[in-house]
Amino acid sequence: MANQIDGLKDALVGLDMYKVLDKVKAGLDAGVAPMDMVKDLQAGMVEIGDRFARGEYFLSELIMSGEIMKKAMALLEPKLAGVDQEYKGNIVIGTVQGDIHDLGKNIVAMLLKGAGYNVIDLGVDVPAEKFIDAVKENQAPLLAMSVLLTGCQDPMRDIIKAVRDAGLDVKVLIGGNYVDEKVKEYCGADYFGTTADDGVKVAKQVFGA
Amino acid sequence: MSDKKILYQERLNRFITAMDVGKPDRVPIRLTLSEFLAKYAGYTLQEIYYQMDKNIECSNKFIQDFDVDTVPGPPSLWMGGIHDATGAKYLKFAGRELEKDKQFQFLESDYMKAEDYDDFIANPTKWILTTLLPRIHTEFKDPYRAHLSLIKGAAGMVMNQGMLAEAGKRWAEEYGIFPPFSGMSKAPFDTLGDVLRGLHGIMMDMHLCPDKLLAALDVLVDHNIYYGMATAAGDTTLPLFMPLHRGSYPFLNPEQWDKFYWPTLKKVIEGLWKHGKRTLFYAEGDWTPYLEKIAELPDKSIVFHVDMTDMKKAKEILGGRFCLSGNVPNTLLTYGTPEEVSDYCKKLIDEVACDGGFIMDAGGVVQWDAKVENVRAMIETTLEYGVY
């Protein structure tokens, strides 16, 4: 049965959209467990993230693979109902209040999902209460916040303060093009990231996996 | 000649000498300040997006208080009213969708679909008018409102341009100061990737319909040269502003950059240069891997602006043939101290500006969050320490 999806991972890594979708459809027709296909695709995403980290892949490949993944998951998700997925842990992610940029956040979320984490994506323009509620509800050990413009960094500081004041035991990762050590200190975050694979690196540290 | 006219000429010569890779009397200062100016002048962002006299007043206030070579701003590129008149779906403004002190936002999407390529390539202007505009403006639901909205929008645009032209005259006459650029244009890849197809769309196109994408990029070359010259009203003294986006590292892989980004951008810059028009290559983000390619451009045809590009390499590869500008980090202007800013500027003056061909500026457009004392430190350091 596995024959149907042989090469699924490689097709994704090779960014061959039609091949990926054909294989997923063929797999479903042949009764391959959808979860097995998801695992293959996740392995592909991990490989793509590694290639990015090695400088072999660029954002264009990450975005293209994300689009392929989205289309493949649209076929698979209806069949996944009732199947328990195993995750390495819960991560809450979102773009902070006042900012609507989501390119970086989406790529980081995609790579984290690919690496086997349960990512709770709150979208853009997310206020403090929403972050806090999501961290509480999911008992998430890691909160990731994205921001592009320096002018939108103040809300990040306020949100982190609110998270700390709420007494939540959560590590905070901030990310964005104009984020650096100085911004991390200013906002009181635990980690900062500027490039796509930094999120996975930090998650590995936080979850030890 | 009046004192102000002499001052104007001195400043302009300083700027032009640096752009020609020469050594003026001191390092010129060009500050690309946007919403920062509103805060400095005491206006809300809502006021500067919607009241063009207040928008211009922000620059007046700044140049009264600081000795800079060119006019920074005015802070708002936009006139909110024009976009309200047409019901633009792609912009959000303070005081309308946003709180009164929130920076405007552009909602990126694939407003042009992959299916639109053929019509776009056949006649881009016609396609924009008949297909794109109705798609992205709420007022285009019926022809009656569409016509009215275009008349209102165009009238607003003309009024705003007239006010800016008046202000420019006043800045020259009363303060002896000139604008840092005239006209604007874009890389064809950014015209498509920023506004029309959006980032996701254009990234997919490189894989799924590369030939159509290439044909569309070609169509845009002449258009973007013309647009640059038209918006500059033919001026060739000042450089053209060209904000560059999707070509920064690491958006595209090197083959994609060579195939899709660079050839048409190069043609636009060379085409402008044939008209005597220099381009301010406003390289947002990091362009270090592409410096060798950029060095293929004709000498002096660009001012290469450094945001996060490796300044040392930029100097090594482009220095002597092209003027360099920028590189004072925006995070430093926001979170740093005046001493740190001053030290950074001195380092730039010592290591980059030493042989001439350098203009002091921040890495990116300076936003709402920069500290006034840090902007002051940047200016004062350049005035004192930047004398050749």
Q: Name the 3-class secondary structure at A40.
A: helix
Per-residue pLDDT at B40 exceeds 80: yes
Interface test with chain A among B105, B256, B374, by most A beta carbons within 10 Å: B105
Predicted confidence band of residue A102 (pLDDT cuts 50, 70, 90): confident
Predicted confidence band of residue A151 (pLDDT cuts 50, 70, 90): confident
Predicted confidence band of residue A82 (pLDDT cuts 50, 70, 90): confident
Task: Give A85: exposed, middle or buried? Use CB within 10 Å, 0-12, 13-18, 19+.
Answer: exposed
**Closest to B19 (Cα-Cα) out of B359, B360, B378:** B359
Separation CA B304–CA B78 (nearest Å): 25
Separation CA B53–CA B81 (nearest Å): 13
Is B330 within 8 Å of A60 when comparing Cβ atoms?
no
Compute and round to an integer the Cα radius of gyration of chain A: 18
Is A57 within 8 Å of B334 when comparing Cβ atoms?
no
Separation CA B357–CA B321 (nearest Å): 9
The interface predicted TM-score (ipTM) is: 0.85
Please, are residues A40 and A8 in contact by the beta-carbon 8 Å criterion? yes
Per-residue pLDDT at A85 exceeds 80: no
Token pair, residue A16, equals 């061959």
Binding-face residues of A in 18-57 toward B, CB within 8 A: 52, 55, 57
Mean pLDDT of A82-89: 81
Per-residue pLDDT at A195 exceeds 90: no
Q: Is the peptide bond before B74 cis (omega within 30 degrees of 0)?
A: yes
Q: Name the 3-class secondary structure at B167.
A: helix
Separation CA A61–CA B204 (nearest Å): 9
**pLDDT per residue over B150-199, tens digit each?**
999 999 999 999 999 999 999 999 999 999 999 999 999 999 999 899 99
Please, are residues B39 and B23 in contact by the beta-carbon 8 Å criterion? no
Which are the contacts of B281, defined by CB distance < 8 A and separation ≥ 6?
B242, B244, B269, B294, B302, B303, B304, B305
Residue found under tokens 């064809």 = B188
Separation CA A184–CA A192 (nearest Å): 6
Predicted confidence band of residue A196 (pLDDT cuts 50, 70, 90): confident
Residue found under tokens 């800045």 = B171
Please, are residues B212 and B118 in contact by the beta-carbon 8 Å criterion? yes
Is A151 within 8 Å of B256 when comparing Cβ atoms?
no
Give pLDDT, residue B80. Answer: 94
Give pLDDT, residue B51. Answer: 96
**Closest to B326 (Cα-Cα) out of B272, B372, B364:** B364
Q: Name the 3-class secondary structure at A177.
A: coil
Is B330 within 8 Å of A183 when comparing Cβ atoms?
no
Query: Of B256, B285, B369, which has the smallest distance from its Cβ to A177's Cβ?
Result: B285
Q: Is the peptide bond before B250 cis (omega within 30 degrees of 0)?
A: yes
Per-residue pLDDT at A81 exceeds 90: no
Q: Is A59 within 8 Å of chain B by CB?
A: yes
Per-residue pLDDT at A2 exceeds 60: no
Give the single-character DSSP code of B239: P
Is A63 within 8 Å of B206 when comparing Cβ atoms?
no
Give pLDDT, residue B241. Answer: 97
Mean pLDDT of B227-253: 96
Q: Is B330 within 8 Å of chain A by CB?
A: yes
Q: Which residues of A touch B251 (CB under 8 A)?
A: 58-60
Neighbouring CB atoms inside 10 A of B251's CB total 23
Q: Is A149 within 8 Å of chain B by CB?
A: yes
Burial A49-75 (b: 16+ CB within 10 A, else e): bebbbeeebbbbbbbbbbbbbeebbeb
Q: Distance (Å) from the C-alpha of residue B262 to the closest C-alpha of chain A?
A: 16
Instruction: Give the percent of chain B with pLDDT over 90.
Output: 92
Q: Distance (Å) from the C-alpha of residue A13 to the closest C-alpha of chain B?
A: 14
Edge-first strand listing for the sheet containing A142-146: A118-121, A90-95, A142-146, A171-175, A191-193
Separation CA A64–CA A68 (nearest Å): 6
Neighbouring CB atoms inside 10 A of B162's CB total 11
Is A151 within 8 Å of B368 when comparing Cβ atoms?
yes
**Bridging pattern class, strands B323-326 and B302-306:** parallel
Q: Is A17 within 8 Å of chain B by CB?
A: yes
Give pLDDT, residue B168. Answer: 93
Q: Distance (Å) from the C-alpha of residue A181 to the closest C-alpha of chain B?
A: 10
Burial B187-200 (b: 16+ CB within 10 A, else e): bbbbbbbbbbbbbb
Task: Give B274: exposed, middle or buried? Use CB within 10 Å, 0-12, 13-18, 19+.
Answer: exposed
Is B251 within 8 Å of A182 when comparing Cβ atoms?
no
Separation CA A120–CA A130 (nearest Å): 12
What is the CB-side half-sphere exposure of residue B189 using CA atoms within 13 A?
27
**Minimal-distance CA residue of chain A relative to B106:** A100
Interface test with chain A among B101, B202, B204, by most A beta carbons within 10 Å: B204
Query: Of B105, B107, B199, which has the smallest distance from its Cβ to A103's Cβ?
Result: B199
Binding-face residues of A in 108-147 toward B, CB within 8 A: none
Domains and CATH numbers, chain A: 2-79 (1.10.1240.10), 90-207 (3.40.50.280)
Query: Of A55, A64, A149, which has the smallest distance from its Cβ to B207's Cβ?
Result: A64
**Minimal-distance CA residue of chain B relative to A68:** B204
**pLDDT per residue over B279-337, tens digit each?**
999 999 999 999 999 999 999 999 999 999 999 999 999 999 999 999 999 989 999 99
Predicted confidence band of residue A103 (pLDDT cuts 50, 70, 90): confident
Per-residue pLDDT at B1 exceeds 80: no
Per-residue pLDDT at A10 exceeds 90: yes
Is A151 within 8 Å of B331 when comparing Cβ atoms?
no
Token pair, residue B310, equals 């490796």
Give the single-character DSSP code of B298: P
Amino acid symbol at A79: K
Q: Which residues of A touch B200 (CB under 8 A)?
A: 63, 67
Q: Which residues of A touch B204 (CB under 8 A)?
A: 63-64, 67
- Strongest mean pLDDT among A87-91, B250-254, B274-278: B274-278
Q: Is B300 within 8 Å of chain A by CB?
A: no
**Closest to A85 (Cα-Cα) out of A47, A50, A38:** A38
Token pair, residue A181, equals 């050590």
Q: Which residues of B touch A51 (CB under 8 A)?
A: none
Please, are residues B54 and B47 in contact by the beta-carbon 8 Å criterion? yes
Please, are residues A9 and A41 in contact by the beta-carbon 8 Å criterion? yes
Mean pLDDT of all residues belonging to chain B: 95
Least confident of A16-20, A32-36, B20-24, B254-258: A32-36
Q: Is B35 within 8 Å of chain A by CB?
A: yes
**Closest to B227 (Cα-Cα) out of B256, B187, B286, B179:** B187
Amino acid symbol at A119: V
Give pLDDT, residue B69. Answer: 95
Token pair, residue A81, equals 């109902």
> What are the beta bridge partners of residue A35?
none
**Closest to B171 (Cα-Cα) out of B31, B39, B74:** B74
Is A60 within 8 Å of B367 when comparing Cβ atoms?
no
Backbone angles phi, psi at B104, to 5 degrees: -55, 155
Q: Which residues of B touch A154 (CB under 8 A)?
A: 369
Mean pLDDT of A162-172: 92
**Minimal-distance CA residue of chain A relative to B94:** A98
Binding-face residues of B in 212-241 toward A, CB within 8 A: none
Residue, of A177 and B253, whose pLDDT is higher = B253
Task: Give A48: exposed, middle or buried? Use CB within 10 Å, 0-12, 13-18, 19+.
Answer: buried
